[in-house]
Chains A and B, each alone.
Chain A
Amino acid sequence: MKEINYKELANNLMFEISDDEISEVQTEFEVLFKQIELLNKIDTQNTLEMVYPFEFETSYLRSDDHIRTMDLADVLSNAPKTKQGHFVVPKVVK
């Protein structure tokens, strides 16, 4: 089993895990790898992935008509900081 750097994995997901959490994560992955072995017992040669329960079409391309909008006030209502109708975040390009 490849050695996993759990802190790096978490970092890439934009959160941190504490040293206490690491041992729980380690146990989680040990069980995961045993469960992947159960998957490997199934022959899936020539089998396509199933990504949705049904494979008939329910979506469509609609005409580019104005159907509905949301009030800007509602869109911004949960934002920690706004200015002139925009979400405000710290400057990225320094």
Chain B
Amino acid sequence: MSIKQYQNLNLDQVCEESYLKNKQAHNVLNHCVTLVDVKQQLKEAKAGKLYKIPYALKDNISTKGILTTACSNILDNYVAPYDATVYQKLKEAGAILVAKTSMDELAMGGSNKTANIGPCLNPYDLNCISGGSSGGSAVSVAANLVPFALGTDTGDSIRKPASFCGIVGVKPSYGRISRYGVIPYASSLDHVGYFCQNVYDASVLLEVLAGRDDKDLTSNTKPVLEYSKLLESDIKDKKILVFKNVLDALDPSSSAYQAFYQIVNQLKEKGATIKEVSFDQDLMRALFPTYYIIANCEATANHANLDGLRFGHQVSGSDIFEIIKNTRSQGFGTFVKKRFLVGSYGLYQENQEAVLRKAQKVRRKIVEAVLAELKDYDCLIAPASAKGALGLNEVCDDTLSDQYLIVENHMVIGNFAGLPSMTIPMGYDSHMPLGINITCNAFDEVGMFQIAQIIEDITGLKDLKKEVVHGL
């Protein structure tokens, strides 16, 4: 259901029902860390664009007085002492927080299996992953428990679960939405974004969330536009790049390939200019290693403060060093420990030139190559993934294949270059949703929403849901 449709209902009842549905659905999906009582919020709700609309927040977004754990044992008792800017903005808009949602531990993952509360499940198939790291937020929207939810995206952590869960996932330009109060992963790649059920809602949500925040000095001063009033456009004016490296790594008989080209053919028929672009293949195969090294080096530095001394779950020891070591040994899961070790290795002085600085230089090469093509076009489009969500026990067996390196990781370009990028539904792989990713030039959110609206009109795929709790 869209936000507009919610506004015609008894909103107090809607919010109370959303709370109960989330509580029940959690027994099936394991998507919540904390349920938040709505009664007091409803009494205090301000008259704004999202008046009494229920929503969920990924659990790395600080909410004063409410647990904010990032799904890590080291923060399992951490109650945020202040509000993130985005939470404050949503309060000002009148929205009602119903749940803090599950995520990969410290946002470091792409499956949501590494949450300290256990894996989050896909409502389309409970034997499949939701995707991550913003999996809990994704499923809360996909299962129609809330019309929108916030997440964060460092290397596709909104856009990939959006694809796996059949919903809209938006990562705007870097600095478009304030990161103040958001537990960091990799500061030069982190973006705050959100999930919803259609492109119109996506445009409204950006109006509420975007804007300069002096508490986040990387946030941008560009004016926030009325995106919802700028959705209409003429498809004949649109110039679209098709990301050929991604398509070349797909099986042409696959659902993703077929669904994608059905859309491309319709865009062509309706008069859009389409050009297939192939970037240097070695450069594209370097996308994932570039991301992995930069992200883990930055994360290792960012999380050096998690020591249990001033906050977090402290484990006892005979001296300060033992306290820190015991706290961190027991507080971090194996998956993030591995990532920190990679990060630390890259940060060692003797390795920096060959590892971190090399990755940072390749980042620049990638961004330059993409921007050189994108500057004359409106967007770059590609399937968000090769197929639907993996099974819970399924692993990628070849992490050096083009399918893994390029198809499953191309969306990091949006993080490297800070470009606005969103995923919307494009079809199905058997019963599992598939998404199409649209990436535009920096701060062209208007153009991004326009292209997304055109594609949504072509496919007719909007307001999709897969409920696991029926009636109350």
B345: contacting residue among A4, A48, A87, CB under 8 A: A4
Closest to A81 in B: B314
Say which one of B125-133, B330-338, B429-437, B457-465 lies at the interface with A: B330-338
A78 and B81 within 8 A (CB)? yes
Within the complex, the shortest CB–CB distance from B72 to chain A, in Å, comes to 13
Say which one of B237-245, B257-265, B304-312 lies at the interface with A: B304-312
Say which one of B89-97, B140-148, B320-328 lies at the interface with A: B320-328
B387 is an interface residue with CB less than 8 A from chain A: no
Say which one of B20-28, B160-168, B214-222 lies at the interface with A: B214-222
B174 and A54 within 8 A (CB)? yes
Distance between Cα atoms of A39 and B323 in the complex (Å): 38
B364 and A48 within 8 A (CB)? yes
Contacts of A79 in B (CB 8 A): 309-311
Distance between Cα atoms of A15 and B399 in the complex (Å): 28
Closest to B342 in A: A32
B329 and A15 within 8 A (CB)? yes
A65 is an interface residue with CB less than 8 A from chain B: no
Contacts of A63 in B (CB 8 A): none
A70 and B174 within 8 A (CB)? no
Distance between Cα atoms of A16 and B327 in the complex (Å): 10
A49 is an interface residue with CB less than 8 A from chain B: yes
B365 and A42 within 8 A (CB)? yes
Contacts of B64 in A (CB 8 A): 74
B358 and A14 within 8 A (CB)? no
A44 and B358 within 8 A (CB)? yes
| Chain A contact residues: helix, strand, loop or mixed | loop
**A4-42 residues at the B interface, CB under 8 angstroms:** 4, 6, 9-17, 21, 24-25, 28-29, 31-32, 34-36, 38-42
Closest to B338 in A: A28
B82 and A78 within 8 A (CB)? no
Closest to A15 in B: B328
Within the complex, the shortest CB–CB distance from B9 to chain A, in Å, comes to 37
Distance between Cα atoms of A25 and B354 in the complex (Å): 20
B336-380 to A contact mask, C-beta < 8 Å, 1/0 = 011011101100000000110111111111010000000000000
B344 and A9 within 8 A (CB)? yes
Closest to A74 in B: B81
Within the complex, the shortest CB–CB distance from A54 to chain B, in Å, comes to 6
Given A50-B361, A90-B323: A35 and B341 interface contact (C-beta under 8 Å)? no
Distance between Cα atoms of A10 and B418 in the complex (Å): 32
Given A13-B300, A41-B282: A49 and B361 interface contact (C-beta under 8 Å)? yes
B283 is an interface residue with CB less than 8 A from chain A: yes
A29 and B342 within 8 A (CB)? yes
Say which one of B38-46, B53-61, B226-234, B288-296 lies at the interface with A: B288-296
B341 and A40 within 8 A (CB)? no
B278 is an interface residue with CB less than 8 A from chain A: no
B285 is an interface residue with CB less than 8 A from chain A: yes
